[in-house]
Structure 1
Amino acid sequence: MFVAKSFFIFSVLFCSLVNSKPADPDASAQIVKFDNDLRLDGYNFDFETSNGIKRTEAGVLKPGTGKDNDQTLNVDGDFSFTFPDGTPFSVKFVATEDGYRPTVVIGQGRAGK
């Protein structure tokens, strides 16, 4: 009888400890801002979530200049978030026919802002 009561009490305490862990704020994050503009010559979008994730991007279609006249898409944008320990992280980037060029900032405000 004592073993059964002890097991029951242990089970109740264990279940309450398992269920009492803090909620993950990222699991319930919601989009608080969203804009999207798609055009024939390019696009723009940006969004922000309730847990502080931010992203902006703009792309512009440039006419080709080579002999095959291929168009290129030039893109610039940035994104940022905060690590669980409170450290801010951000990337500002440009992507052209010359490649992808990011600027990464850790521990300060948003890159390029």
Structure 2
Amino acid sequence: MLTVRSFILIGAIFVSCANGRPADGDAQAQTIKFNNDLRLDGYNFDFETSNGIKRTENGVLKPGTDKENDQLLNVDGDFSFNLLDGTPMSVKFVATENGYRPTVVIGQPKSGRR
């Protein structure tokens, strides 16, 4: 089950990985879009930077099934950016009591035409 504590841990890992990227032209990137809505029953946020990084996320707090005060946080979202060689990468994910399920696309998605 994905609890609030587990979600915070996943977020901390994501931030530490993002901070480990070497400084280059991305260090000058500006935030061009930012929305954040925190509610008692969940949250949503999205942002975009001038160097093409995009992130969206929605979380919904739901009652748990194990303990009287247990709660679950169901989350879905996506993020995308360019790898160091310029290759685009995107991840869509769902995180529920059934686990974290990402879908990763590296490179351009193939279209039906040639």
Work out whether the TM-score is over 0.5.
Answer: yes
1:57 is matched with which residue? 57
Name the aligned partner's letter for residue 35 of structure 2. Answer: D
**Unaligned 5+ runs, structure 1:** 1-23
C-alpha distance in 2, partners of 1:97/1:64?
9
Q: Which runs of structure 2 are paired with 1:56-95 in the superposition (5 Å)?
A: 56-66=56-66, 68-69=67-68, 70-95=70-95
CA deviations on 1:19-74 (whole Å, 9 max, x unpaired) are xxxxx4202100000000000000000000000000000000012234x2421000
- TM-score, normalization: structure 2? 0.70
2:13 is matched with which residue? none
C-alpha distance in 1, partners of 2:99/2:31?
31
What is the aligned-residue identity percentage?
Answer: 81
Could you say what the CA RMSD is over the residues aligned between the two structures, in angstroms? 1.3
Number of matched residues? 85
2:96 is matched with which residue? 96
2:28 is matched with which residue? 28
**Runs of 4+, deviation exceeding 4 Å:** none
- TM-score, normalization: structure 1? 0.70
Query: How far 1:83 sits from its partner (Å)?
Result: 1.8
2:44 is matched with which residue? 44
**Unaligned 5+ runs, structure 2:** 1-23, 110-114
Name the aligned partner's letter for residue 75 of structure 2. Answer: V
C-alpha distance in 1, partners of 2:38/2:25?
31
